[in-house]
Structure 1
Amino acid sequence: MSALFAGCGSLPVPTRAGTEQAHIWLCEAVRPLQARDTCRLLALLDHGERQRIYRLQAHGRGDLELLSLGLRRLVLSRYLDCMPSKWTFGRTTYGRPVITNGDETTRALRFSVTHTPGLVAIMVFQGMDGGIDAEYMPPLTRPFLGSASSPHRFYAEWTLKEAVTKGMGLGMALPFRQLKFQKVDQALRLQIVETKRQLAGWSFHQQFLPSAHSLAIALATAQARLGWYRISFQAARAHTWPKA
């Protein structure tokens, strides 16, 4: 088994009634991909995904997108008996990615992916809506950490709003200016400004990672119980990769 998931075997799918309702996978992406890693990741993708990466590579970009697309497949294969290259995906009306292959159990598995310079984050869950978002905070913003009016707060609110719109599956159809977060009894609550209605039945999690990233999670459940996992991608180079 690959060192990509060191110390972690196959996992049960997290469910609304389970001990953990969502699993969060974090992979620091601080170094350029080596040629062999690029080839291995490309081999996992479908034709459309590869063409997308080729277009980005033509402009000197694409590593982060490639890592995100490849890890999405590898992570999902930790839960169900499906080879990483066999997953197929579609999109809803507003662009939320969904699984389209396999039986009803396979298609019921849900995920949300985000990537930003230095980090890929993937959330896996089932039986509810949810979204994850992360943003890298440039060094200029870090001296202001802790100030209520600082860029720190901007990144916290921005990632929370991104996570919510992803989770609701509405994308930019839900304007950010309509979302207002408040802390009530140490819990984050979301209000739709136009209707002054609170979004009930959702829980929100936001934190700042040591890697200088703001990370936010939104799940359509009153109390989210999260499991955290780290993907050691850089350490995997000397080991056998999972079969495609």
Structure 2
Amino acid sequence: MTVAHVWLGGPSEADTNATVLCDAERTRAASFRFERDRNSWIAAHTLLRRALSERMPEVAPSAWRFESAPGGRPELAGPFKATGLRFSLAHAPEAVACVVTQEVSCGIDVERLARAIDVEALGRRTASAAERAGLQALPAADRGAQFMRLWTLKEAYAKATGRGLATPFGSLDFDLTDGIVIRATGDGRSNDEFGFVQWTTSDGHVVAVAASTCRGRPPQVVLHTSAANASVTRVCSSP
């Protein structure tokens, strides 16, 4: 079974953790116009460095080096490639998340479940016909949260495959009726190439993890928390 180590945190940690970033990362962080976005970015990237060092304590958080793979997915660079560690990170205004696996592709996303969105407009661009029908069948008050569950799964899948925004979100079709099932990938991949886990946090965020695995079985999540506001209320393979 694939094991996915997940860390959750918050942007409030950015001030104390920025010292582990490299010069290029600090320059990138300084380019953000708004403090909220800057702190979120710093918190996510420092969380990643600390997470990698928890998996390999002999490497200091500040020592890790990264590069972009074809398609833009960040990966370990130089001698660190030999560790076999794979990772993905995500940041929202009030939460950050990181997943680390061994030798297998992974992706993660985090979003506020009650985020104010135009479900109909976003659904036309990013949801399959079956997903849109399922959303319309729900009470209006429940559609936003269900859309965010679908969205985070799609983002996690897109990061795990390395295609990112090139992923055809409208053709990527999830069924959340009974667990998490992919009805169509839209990119020619097998429907069971990745397994998924999704849960909600006590502060109202939804987290989705995707990992390449055997016959679509969900990965085993080992959860680490680094901020009180990211405490977990539920971890499961269904919404």
Identify whether the pair has TM-score above 0.5, normalized to the shorter chain: yes
Match of 2:4 among 22, 30, 52: 22
Q: What TM-score, normalized to structure 1?
A: 0.74
One-letter amino acid matched to 2:96 = V
State the SS of the aligned residue for 1:164: helix
Cα distance in structure 2, aligned partners of 1:68 and 1:212 = 18
Give the CA RMSD over aligned residues. Answer: 2.8
Aligned in 2, Cα 1:199/1:70: closer, same or farther, shift over 3 Å?
Answer: same
Q: CA deviation at 1:231?
A: 0.9
Q: Conserved in 2, the CA contact under 8 Å of 1:191 and 1:198?
A: no
- Change in Cα spacing, 1:193 to 1:220, as seen in structure 2 (3 Å) is closer
Structure 2 Cα separation of the partners of residues 48 and 177 of structure 1: 35
- Cα distance in 2 between the residues matched to 1:164 and 1:139: 21
Question: Helix, strand or coil for the counterpart of 2:46?
Answer: helix
Deviation of the 1:48 alpha carbon? 1.1
Q: Does structure 1 residue 60 correspond to structure 2 residue 27?
A: no
Q: Is the 8 A contact 2:185 2:191 kept in 1?
A: no
Matched, 1:187 2:179: yes
Q: CA deviation at 1:134?
A: 0.8
**Taking every aligned residue pair, what percent have the same amino acid on both sides?**
29
**Which residue does the alignment assign to 2:220?**
225
Q: Alignment partner of 2:78: what SS? A: coil
TM-score (norm 2): 0.75
Q: Structure 1 CA distance, aligned partners of 2:192 and 2:22?
A: 38
Whether 1:91 aligns to 2:86 is no
CA 1:59–1:126 in 2, change beyond 3 Å: closer, same or farther?
A: same
Structure 2: stretches of 5+ with no match in the other structure: 118-137, 230-239
Q: Highest relative contact order (Cα 8 Å, sep 6+), 1 or 2?
A: 1
1:159 alignment partner in structure 2: 152
- Which residue matches 2:233? none
State how far apart, in whole Å, the 2-side matches of 1:213 and 1:75 are: 20
* Residue in 1 that maps onto 2:135: none
The structure whose residues are more often helix, as a share, is 2
Other-structure match for 2:132? none
Q: Tell me the CA shift for residue 209 of structure 1.
A: 1.9
Q: Distance in 2 between matches of 1:25 and 1:112?
A: 11
Distance of 2:19 and 2:61 partners within structure 1:
10
1:102 CA drift (Å): 2.5
Q: What are the Cα deviations for residues 112-149 of structure 1, in whole angstroms up to 9, with x where unaligned?
A: 111112211111101211101011134668xxxx8586
Tell me what 2:109 maps to. Answer: 133
Shift in CA distance, 128/194, structure 1 to aligned 2, threshold 3 Å: closer
Partners of 1:132 and 1:215 within 8 A in 2: yes
Corresponding residue pairs, total: 204
